[in-house]
Structure 1
Amino acid sequence: MAIHTCEALRACRPPLFTSIKLAPNCIRNYKFRVQSCLKNPNCSRKLVLEVKEKLEKENYSLPVGKNGRDDEDMILWYLKDRRFCVEEAVAKLTKAIRWRQEFGVSDLSEDAVKSMAETGKAYVHDFLDVNDRPVLIVVASKHLPAVHDQHEDHKLCVFLIEKALSKLPAGKEQILGIFDLRGFGTKNTDLSSLTFLFNVFYYYYPKRLGEVLFVDAPFVFKPIWQLVKPLLKSYASLVKFCSMETVRKEYFTEATIPVNFRD
């Protein structure tokens, strides 16, 4: 019986010394397996069916349908995220599907987040960027954690992620996040909400966030970034500090620049 990717990796590790680096031949075999699954539909299809069967057997109570335990597109996405390791994909999928169910993602709507959306603190831009990515914009100066209900904030966050993903053109997989930090002050500081946003992407929308722009960050934001950066895991590497001029020139055309980013 074929050994799964993650089982093969474990087999290459010397017992007790898990911190020792994998042997070069093990790494090559591992990379070859991932590349084979990406290129060969039969290989990836077999693993999708294996994950689907395990989810049905071990987590039958999970919902089915779109974004459910039998959603093969979702299963394939998580397999790619977990480098085609069946066990890891099953574990991450189980957590994600349960979270969607408990959070009530499918129940979110324009009406459900209307009051928070009307603050203007975050929205999905009407146009794609120059790389054909949907754009999620956060206006930090309008975020008031002492005033706004945190759970309602989180609902708006998830709703906008879903909305941005629904605007993905055919063949595109990632979105662009822009934090407009002009006018940001201590009253707008909210480490928990920022961490929530990145955790949601990391655990439940893996590899959907292509890049994050922190625009015109004031001096007061720098120490906050140093506190939150270690909490963002690999997503911290996606963050780019830049100016409004850079956003205008490198990410949009004259016709597609967000209104509040124009001169």
Structure 2
Amino acid sequence: MVLMRTVYPTIAVPLPLPLSNLPVRTNFAVRCANVHSQTQLDSRKLVLAVKEKLEKEHHNLPVGRNGRDDEDMILWFLKDRKFSIDDAIYKLTKAIKWRRDFEVSKLTEEVVKDALQTGKGYVHDLLDINGRPVVVVVGSKHIPQALDPADDERLCVFLIEKALSKLPTGKEQILTIVDLRGFSTENADLKFLTFLFDVFYYYYPKRLAQVLFVDAPFVFKPIWQLVKPLLKSYASLVRFCSAETVRKEYFTDKTLPPSFRD
């Protein structure tokens, strides 16, 4: 008897390619680039559509920086209104008219010097730990009867504009700190507080990262209960915290505002 040996065919098993050589990764990167390019193209079309509509329907509005043809401003309001052309135009025209009537471009330190000298508000020289410009409001130095309310409003807008001018590349929002240490009933100003949030909502949308109410005394609580419903979604930006929290979570020893140093 002759025994036959079964011979099995040899199967070549390919060695796995390095992950960096996989075509899937390259295709994914290309797809991402394409999506990004398409998004930019779509945004550009929407900006031009808003710009054209503003020129036709609101030709009397000013042009130039922060005007009806300012494409950066148009894009910002489109983002705020979730790229709805009609909603963006409505809010944008309101903001441009307000800037013109309020004469925002004419606000200087000389114009607001009386309010600025009170020390009730200033822009901190340094950025916070997240690289954001900081506006500091000192509640105990705000005496509503001491100045014309219009002066306080002009100071408010001047400080916002100054803080926005300090935005580093890639940053879009600012931090506001309301120092309530020593705050009393004579400092209460419901109208001004409402103005502050209205300005951010209508004219500087999504520029406010957070508002810190620092060491709020008991007398401030009723004021907050009155204001909170008026703020709607902006109320979620408010954080009540201590001066110690400001020191530890928002600044380093070198960047801390002087009034919060031990």
TM range, smaller chain? 0.7 to 0.9
Larger Rg: 2
CA contact 1:38–1:44 (8 Å) conserved in 2: no
Secondary structure of 1:123 counterpart: strand
Distance in 2 separating the partners of 1:144 and 1:258: 22
Secondary structure of 1:176 counterpart: strand
Report the CA distance between 1:234 and its aligned residue. Answer: 1.2
Equivalence for 2:25: none
Equivalence for 1:90: 89
Equivalence for 2:226: 227
CA contact 1:37–1:44 (8 Å) conserved in 2: no
C-alpha spacing 1:63/1:188, structure 2 compared with 1 (3 Å): same
Distance in 2 separating the partners of 1:155 and 1:95: 18
Distance in 2 separating the partners of 1:160 and 1:95: 21
Equivalence for 2:141: 142
Distance in 1 separating the partners of 2:177 and 2:37: 30
CA contact 1:120–1:142 (8 Å) conserved in 2: yes
Once the two structures are superposed, residues 27-60 of structure 1 have per-residue CA deviations (whole angstroms, 9 ceiling, x without a partner) of xxxxxxxxx7897110000000000001000000
Root-mean-square deviation (CA), in Å? 1.1
Alignment length (residue pairs) = 228
Distance in 1 separating the partners of 2:145 and 2:63: 39
What amino acid sits opposite 1:41 in the alignment?
A: Q
Secondary structure of 1:40 counterpart: helix
Report the CA distance between 1:109 and its aligned residue. Answer: 0.5
**Identity value in percent:** 71
Equivalence for 1:157: 156
| 2:204 is the alignment partner of 1:205 | yes
CA contact 1:213–1:239 (8 Å) conserved in 2: yes
Report the CA distance between 1:108 and its aligned residue. Answer: 0.4
Normalised by the length of structure 2, the TM-score is: 0.86
Alignment of 1:57-136 (within 5 A): 57-136=56-135
Equivalence for 2:216: 217
Distance in 1 separating the partners of 2:108 and 2:233: 30
Equivalence for 1:25: none
Structure 1: which 5+ residue stretches go unaligned? 1-35
Report the CA distance between 1:232 and its aligned residue. Answer: 1.2
Report the CA distance between 1:115 and its aligned residue. Answer: 1.1
Equivalence for 1:240: 239
Equivalence for 2:48: 49
Moved over 2 A (4+): 36-39
Normalised by the length of structure 1, the TM-score is: 0.85
What amino acid sits opposite 1:44 in the alignment?
A: S
Distance in 1 separating the partners of 2:67 and 2:222: 40
Report the CA distance between 1:257 and its aligned residue. Answer: 0.6
Distance in 2 separating the partners of 1:39 and 1:164: 33
C-alpha spacing 1:38/1:204, structure 2 compared with 1 (3 Å): farther
Structure 2: which 5+ residue stretches go unaligned? 1-34
Secondary structure of 1:69 counterpart: coil
Distance in 2 separating the partners of 1:156 and 1:68: 22
CA contact 1:37–1:84 (8 Å) conserved in 2: no
Once the two structures are superposed, residues 51-90 of structure 1 have per-residue CA deviations (whole angstroms, 9 ceiling, x without a partner) of 0001000000000000000000000000000000000001
Report the CA distance between 1:186 and its aligned residue. Answer: 0.3
Report the CA distance between 1:222 and its aligned residue. Answer: 0.7
